[in-house]
Amino acid sequence: MNTIKIGWIGLGNMGNPMSQRLVHAGYPVTVYNRNRAKEEALKLMGATVASSPRLLMEQMDVIIIMVTDDKAIREIFTGDKGLLGTKTNGKIIINMSTVSPGISKEMAFLCNQEGNHYLDAAVSGSVKQAEEGQLVIMVGGNETILEKAKPIFEHLGKLTLLVGGTGAGNTAKLAINILLAFHAQGLAEAVVFARQNEIKTKDLITLINNSALGNVFTKIKGDAIIQNNYKAAFALKHIAKDLHLAKEVGLATPMGEIAFKTFQQAEPVLGEEDIIAIIKHIASSSEQSITNSSETH
């Protein structure tokens, strides 16, 4: 039985399976989600629920956060019944969301002022890896505090790496997601090109998966394309957000600019679908340019 009391905030696609793993590992887990209905599944598994982040801060030893973006983090820390201002100290707050290095520095400063500790610990991997405890965890912050959190991370990930001071985990995650955006756009463009030239999608995906370019991403997202299943595991709006954050901290490379533009354009229509729904945007832009070029010839 693990005795460290864990408070978990954010039960979305990732937070739900991650917190479930900690319940299964025997930790006393108390959860909070803005939309309270999402707490039910965890309650059935044996977790307790709390009605606010403030209560978690008062009663738990470690608080883990897995929410959308900077705005959500600000609300959870500084909002009404937020984490800050509770007169508690020695608590460890771990932010596993993909957010800006700037907000981590700001929140870490406020936590430290109150005698509490902050780690940014972004993750690579998606829902499947979250369910299986196979995430890659990149941490920014103090090494001694990380050592205290490591036994928890062992139930969530296959690798935990300290990459620097506060915010460094967030920066590393943005770098990885730049590459993720290239992979998604690249796979989509290859499939669209092949289709236009009468190669069956299923055949192309089989070839890719058996070539040197095949990987977990091409397997999972290739299947999604074949099955026309764009239900979000990693919502397209999140990668649009991450490219935006990367741009704010200096992304200005040739492919970075293109991926940024592509995902920002796609987000208003496809934001709630999976990242690989970018193929719909690529297909329609490509059809549009073929139509335009045949009209001008």
Q: Which residues are catalytic?
A: 173
Quick check: helix, strand or coil at residue 94? strand
- 285 lies in the site for ligand NAP, by CB under 6 A: no
In this chain, which of 42, 67, 152, 180 binds ligand NAP, going by CB under 6 A? 67
The smaller minimum CB distance to ligand NAP, of residues 34 and 195, is found at 34
The CA distance from 51 to 62, in Å, is 17
How many residues touch ligand NAP under the rule CB under 6 A: the total is 26
Stretch 10-49 residues interacting with ligand NAP (CB under 6 A): 10-15, 33-35, 38
Compare residues 58 and 131 and give the one whose CB is closer to ligand NAP: 131
| Binding track, positions 215-254, relative to ligand NAP; x by CB under 6 A | ------------------xxx--x----------------
How many residues in total does the chain contain?
A: 297
According to DSSP, the β-strands at 117-124 and 29-32 are unpaired
- Whether the CB-CB separation of 7 and 152 falls below 8 Å is answered with no
**Min CB(211)–ligand NAP separation in Å:** 25
CB of 273 to ligand NAP, least distance (A): 12
Q: Token digits for 293?
A: 């070029």
| Out of 86, 100, 126, 171, the residue judged to bind ligand NAP by CB under 6 A | 126
Residue 117 pairs in a beta bridge with: 92
Burial grade of 54 (CB within 10 A; 0-12, 13-18, 19 or more): buried
Tell me which DSSP letter residue 275 carries: G
Closest separation between CB of residue 259 and ligand NAP, Å? 16
How far apart are CB 52 and ligand NAP at their closest, in Å? 11
Nearer residue to ligand NAP within complex by CB, 36 or 202: 36
Q: CB nearer to ligand NAP: give 62 or 66.
A: 66
Q: Is 168 in the site for ligand NAP (CB under 6 A)?
A: no
Nearer to ligand NAP (CB atom), residue 204 or residue 221: 221
**Residue with the shortest CB distance to ligand NAP:** 12
Nearest 10 degrees: CA dihedral of 66, 67, 72, 76? -30
Task: Select 39 or 281, whichever has its Cβ closest to ligand NAP.
Answer: 39
What residues from 77 to 106 belong to the interface with ligand NAP (CB under 6 A)? 97-98
Which H helix or E strand runs over 64? Answer: strand 62-65
Taking Cα atoms as reference points, which of 105, 109, 98, 100 lies closest to residue 135?
98
What are the two backbone dihedrals, phi and then psi, of residue 65, each rounded to the nearest 5 degrees? Answer: -120, 130
From the list 43-51, 60-68, 154-162, 283-291, the region that binds ligand NAP by CB under 6 A is 60-68
> What is the smallest separation between the CB atom of 68 and ligand NAP, expressed in angstroms?
4
Whether residue 185 contacts residue 278, with contact meaning beta carbons closer than 8 Å, is answered with yes
Q: Pinpoint the alpha helices (H) of the chain.
A: 15-24, 40-45, 53-59, 70-78, 101-113, 127-132, 143-153, 168-196, 201-210, 216-226, 236-248, 254-270, 278-296
Residues near ligand NAP (CB under 6 A): 10-15, 33-35, 38, 66-68, 71-72, 75-76, 97-98, 123, 126-127, 233-235, 238
